Structure 1
Amino acid sequence: MKKILLFFISIHFHISSSQNILIEFQFNVNSTFELASVSKKSILKQDDKFSIFELKDIRDVRNFKHHESITTLKERDTVTIFNINDQGFACLFKEQCYKDFEKNIQIDSKIIGLQKTVFIEDQINLFNWELIQESDTIISGYNCKKAKTNFRGRNYIAHYTNEIANQGGPWKFDGLPGFILSVKSLDGFISIEPTEIKININQNKQIKNPYENKKTIKFDKLYMEFLNQERKNFAKAKSKNPYLEQTKAGPLESIEIIEELQKERIYE
């Protein structure tokens, strides 16, 4: 009897981990500047080896919660710049978070100052999760268990299920004994919820690494990229206006809090 049970578990694991998955998510970020808050339509494709999570359409003004107050200023291949009710600017860039499960690496990108793109490489198992023992929660028809963690300055609650896959999740979130379907930060800054789930789809194209041959940096070096770009921007502005004595940069609002960028920065 024990042998039969173990054999069944082994087969179940293999089937779950080799499914082709396509899930659409609503990726909400609540900015302190309310008009800049977004509810981004994002999509995740995953198989047993790779996954990629990306923003569906960077040109769609409806990604902003208050899209009636937003107008498009400039469109490029990788970024769209928006005017926020003549009170400021915001941009949506071609966000892609790629994971290689076998190598335990994930890569995403950031645009700094609308001018420079950097590629950040992390391990997939970034998170120190604590599993919460309580009754299952049903999300989109799947039985989900609960876990919590602190990640780069924010506390999170996640719900995961082994009825879809034994790994994976939206954006960088991963490392639980199942697929992460839902994530919320306790400060209300970010929430990610599924809107459509497709399992065992016909995925003709292999998931490719969009960052192949790109030079990557580690996350702890990211703040230096911001500082260097801010210095270059000030030098450029001063070359056009010799009377410019200094410029200030305030705290950077980001999902991943970078402590070095939370203080006011003055360039002279």
Structure 2
Amino acid sequence: MNIDIAGKVVVVTGAAQGIGRALALGLAAEGARVAVLARDRGRAQVVVDEIAEVDGAPEAVALEADVSDEAAVEAAAAEVDAAWGRVDALINNAGWMPPGQRVLETEVAQLDRVLKSNVVGCFVTTKHFAPLMIRGGGGRIVFVSSAIGTQAGPGAAAYGGSKAAVNILSNVVHQELADQGIRTTALAPGLTYTPGMREIVSEEHLARVSARYPGGRLGEPEDLVGLVAFLCGSAAEHISGSTLFVRPPI
């Protein structure tokens, strides 16, 4: 079974912290050439510098773009093209998890921000990076979704709705681009310990959810590295258009 990703060019969005940072470091450790994309180039460069300390990791590049800003994303895609001339995988990880709010209490401005970060961002990055993959013969797009996109509770309408849209987007991109070599997967982890999550989730909720997860602990960003590396390798060529759960909805 070949899951070797050495030399592949992988773009990771939202890679300054949390899941994105863990994926950037983990995929680089497996030999991928990683483009670290974040809203601030300085923060992206911090991760690039961390990659430089990983034994055997190829040189990485730092990119700056708000993923909902199409012009910025288009410019970032041009930078990757200039640096490496190809893209083999895009990890659509950038997004925002707001504090839980019930529908009648949610400001439209907050809903708009969630949809721009989580849905528009995935749409725009796919639009501008997928052509580079197609030109090179195909590639993998991983949409980092959430178990909440399938089963959400009170207070999660905005975030859950955005991730449900990401799941649909992943499947539609598969239908539109599979014949051009593009494979898609929506990856749906359960509650994962990240700085953004920790800011908005209560200790009581953490304890309740942790007790129902394997090993009695929350997921860690590093738990996703092996699965994403597998998806980016040739062994996963026939997996496309589906949503994969890392942990089930609670």
Q: Tell me the TM-score normalised to structure 2 length.
A: 0.30
The structure that has the greater radius of gyration is 1
> Which structure is richer in relative contact order (CA contacts within 8 A, separation 6 or more)?
2
